[in-house]
Structure 1
Amino acid sequence: MAVKKHSSLDKVLGRLDQLDEPNLHNLVQRLARERAMLEAVFNTLQEGVLVIDVGGLIDYANEAAARLIGLKEPAAGGSLWRLVPGLHDSLAGADSDAPLVTREFELAYPSPRLVRLYMVPFADGEHGPRRAIILSDITAERKSTAELIENEKISSILLLAAGVAHELGNPLNSLTIHLQLIDRKLKKLKASKETRSLEDSIKVCRDEVTRLDGIIKNFLEAIRPRPPDLAELYLPDLIEEVLHFQARELADRGIKVEGEMPAGTPMIMADRDQLKQVFFNLIKNAMEAMQPGGRLSLKLRADDDSVYVALADTGSGIKTEDLAKLFQPYHTTKVSGHGLGLMIVQRILRDHGGHVGIESKEGVGTVVTLQFPQKHRRVRMLAGG
């Protein structure tokens, strides 16, 4: 038979009516200290802690729980069922005698979150049955898991396709050589209407072979990335260089370029060649999305940790259903696109510790935002790592 142990506090409370005023005062102070300590411990937890009665009324909520479910203050009061609609129905089927109940649910307020709930029943002799609830925010965990699964899936597809791409390279080389031989022999023949027609056909074939060869090279570069060769980089200078390189095409298309690149923009650590490829791809995409007379805007800004570049165009925009697929290999919204450009951009940004985000509205245009860690932030991360 188990023996119930009594703490020294239990013994004191058992003879409470025998305490004189000084001892009673000391006891109250001790209880207040212990309560404050427990309150501080619970409020340091990242997990939300709740105590509710059988009707869902909140008897206790720590600060993390208040943040998660939208309580204005981490205090008792209010109905959990009202604050988290649908949770009551989800828990209604749980066995009231079950030692542990686990659920996962989505919160829309105060901000979208995926939450895991653990609920344990316990008895309170004075107030009746109670439920202790622990809430864990698993949004980042679930997102990370989804990204890992997606990356593994893409890696499998890319490895398979890499073998195919490699095998395609040999016949393409052979085609190029034989087209050159045919072209040379054709030039030795007497010019006629038939030879000119053949020359046009050969040119089309050579152009298509060149295009296919470019797709294969881009693909192999995308799946065989090299680590960035990091050095100090001033983004405004790099962007000006890329714009200068593409100035002729921008002018031919009648596209106006607007830039806001404040002097003194913080330095970043980056691979110059890889970032030139990023901006070349993005500006090329913007040009191809716009009609003549369109406008391309490039704006730089910085906060304490990062440098941001926003590229906005006045193109046709992207359909909502296509936005989620933009970084998938071979998904393209262009007639002649190969669907690898944005995938390469995303990989390069990730390798630099940055992020790429895209917002778009059909008929209005698209904004691509790049985020790069500042040089000093990267140094702090490495030093602490």
Structure 2
Amino acid sequence: MLASFRPPSVQRTCRDRRDAPTGPRPAPRGAVAARCGTTATVSLPLRAARGPRDNPGRGPGLAPTPSHMSAFRATRWWAAAGGLALAVVDTILMVMLGVTFQMNGRNVSALVAVSFGSSLALLGYLVGYAAEARRRDRHATALIQAQLEALNTGRARLVQSEKLAALGQLATAIAHEVRNPLAVIRSAAQGLGETVPVDDAAAARACDFIVAEIDRLASVVSSLLDFARPLHLEARAVSVRDLFDRAALLAAGELAAKGARLARDESPALPAVLADPDLLSQVLLGLLANAAEAVPPGGEVMLAARVRDGAVELVVEDSGPGIPAELRARVFEPFFTTRPRGIGLGLAVARQVVEAHGGRIEAGERPGGGARLTVRLPPARDSAIAA
């Protein structure tokens, strides 16, 4: 079987003409023909793949590039030049020491020097070739490993997306079946509460409890619908300061109820982000609400923004107990929660929204203790809107 780097095609020539194809047959990407009497052309990517920063979720660009190939080829020639230089130095030393070579009474020092130089140059070339082969083997191993990791990541994402799609359909069906009965029960409970005698405090408390629990269930249903509903972004260049102002205003009530202080730390000139302001404000509001719930009375919540590695980072920190290291990778999974009354969809929806914007969200630890949630978003192109 012969392999060459050409466009993806496989041409097959068989001695048995009964099953010979009438023309070229396209082959799937990465397919290799391995049959008796087969001449195959195998296509491998030679261009550098985009790295994780340009294309989140894919493996690093380790495919051989022209610069890689030039570096590989240069190794053998530098080694050959080193061997030749060594031969020149040795020849100069022999001349300085007066060493000569005689054969049949004739001086063959020049011939010996040329032979010696060519031998060392050839030896250097071979050593460089061997070193180059080792480097290429290491590079190929790294490339295969990166492609396997990217493949495994892609498979995991595919399985996760299939699960989420099925889960979303189930959530939508349940939400539609539950929402209408909840509205009827709530109206009935409110009407019943209005007819309760003034002196019957226990009955009034029971009606208020029913209404409050129905409101909580309605919130759960809304979360299910938000999780299952496809996202439709209306993205535009948005100032980070405007996003922070809106989120802080919406979260003011929850922060005040806990007596928490909201501090802000923004760079003086941040690039705008290409985002849907409504959806991204809801993400920030959810993160601020979680922080307000986590901090002790009188605690502090920090809302910060900065530019790092070409991305705009929106950070929410709190002075609460923080997120254990072993749980940080799971907090964005649907229905994962450590709260007794939570359903675990808030951060899952936040991740959906952030990833739909081409960004990512991470959980970490605040210096000095507490939780840190970081939203990384690509900046809007050709924008320099102040923070």
**Short-chain TM bin:** 0.5 to 0.7
Q: Distance in 2 between matches of 1:176 and 1:144?
A: 45
* Structure 1 match to 2:148: 138
Distance 1:176 1:136 in 2: 55
1:62 aligns with 2:136: yes
Question: Is the CA contact (8 Å cut-off) linking 1:291 and 1:315 kept in structure 2?
Answer: yes
Larger Rg computed on CA atoms? 2
> Helix, strand or coil: the match of 1:357?
strand
Select 2:281's aligned residue among 254, 276, 283: 276
Q: Which residue of 2 aligns with 1:122?
A: none
Identify the residue that residue 297 of structure 1 maps to in structure 2. 302
Change (3 A) 1:321 1:363: farther
Higher strand share: 1
Q: Which runs of 4+ in 1 moved over 6 A?
A: 20-36
What is the Cα deviation at residue 362 of structure 1?
12
CA distance in 1, matches of 2:148, 2:185: 54
Gap change, CA 1:265 and 1:27, over 3 Å in 2:
same
Cross-structure match for 2:237: 232
Q: Does 1:172 align with 2:182?
A: yes
Q: Which moved more, 1:306-315 or 1:266-275?
A: 306-315
Q: Tell me which residue corresponds to 1:358.
A: 363
TM-score scaled by length of structure 1: 0.61
Partners in 2 of 1:245 and 1:253 — Cα distance?
15
1:226 partner amino acid: L
**Which residue is equivalent to 1:12?**
none
Q: Which SS does the other structure have where 1:176 is aligned?
A: helix
Find the counterpart in structure 1 of residue 212 from structure 2. 207
Q: 1:193 and 2:199 equivalent?
A: yes
* Alpha carbons 1:258, 1:295 under 8 Å: kept: yes
- Structure 1 residue aligned with 2:12: none
Q: Give the partner amino acid of 1:242.
A: A
Could you say if the C-alpha distance between residues 369 and 179 of structure 1 is closer, same or farther in structure 2, counting changes exceeding 3 Å?
same
Q: Distance in 2 between matches of 1:290 and 1:197?
A: 33
User: Aligned partners of 2:198, 2:189: CA distance in 1, in Å?
Assistant: 19
Root-mean-square deviation over aligned CA pairs: 3.5
Identity, in percent, stands at 26
The runs of 5 or more residues in structure 2 that have no matched partner are 1-110
For residues 232 and 123 of structure 2, the distance between their equivalents in structure 1, rounded to whole angstroms, comes to: 59
Are residues 266 and 63 of structure 1, via their aligned partners in 2, closer, same or farther at CA, if it must alter by over 3 Å? Answer: farther
Q: CA deviation at 1:353?
A: 0.1
In 2, the alpha carbon distance for the partners of 1:158 and 1:252 equals 33
- Using structure 2 for the length normalisation, give the TM-score: 0.61
TM-superposed deviation, 1:192: 4.8
Cα deviation for residue 251 of structure 1 reads 3.4
The answer to whether structure 1 residue 286 and structure 2 residue 291 are counterparts is: yes
Aligned to 1:163: 173
| Equivalent residue letter for 2:190 | Q
The structure, 1 or 2, with the larger RCO (C-alpha pairs under 8 Å, 6+ apart) is 2
1:328 paired to 2:330: no
Distance of 2:367 and 2:326 partners within structure 1: 11
The CA distance in 2 between the partners of 1:337 and 1:224, in whole Å, is: 20
Write the distance in 2 (CA, Å) between the matches of 1:253 and 1:136. 47
Give the secondary structure class of the aligned counterpart of 2:317: strand
Map 1:1-385 → 2, pairs under 5 A: 60-62=134-136, 64-65=138-139, 68=142, 137-184=147-194, 186=195, 191-194=197-200, 196-303=201-308, 305-360=310-365, 364-376=369-381
- Unaligned 5+ segments in structure 1 are 1-19, 43-48, 50-59, 69-114, 117-134, 379-385
Distance 1:271 1:318, change over 3 A: same
CA displacement, residues 11-67 of structure 1 (integer Å, 9 cap, x when unaligned): xxxxxxxxx99999999989989998x799x7xxxxxx7xxxxxxxxxx23385499
Paired residues of 1:319 and 1:362 also in contact (CA < 8 A): no
Aligned equivalents of 1:359, 1:153: Cα separation in 2: 26
Count residues in correspondence.
Answer: 272
- Cα deviation, 1:223-269, whole Å, max 9, x if unaligned, reads 11322101110112211222133234323423222222112101111
Q: In structure 2, what is the Cα distance between the partners aligned to 1:267 and 1:199?
A: 51
Task: Please tell me the residue identity of whatever aligns with 2:233.
Answer: P
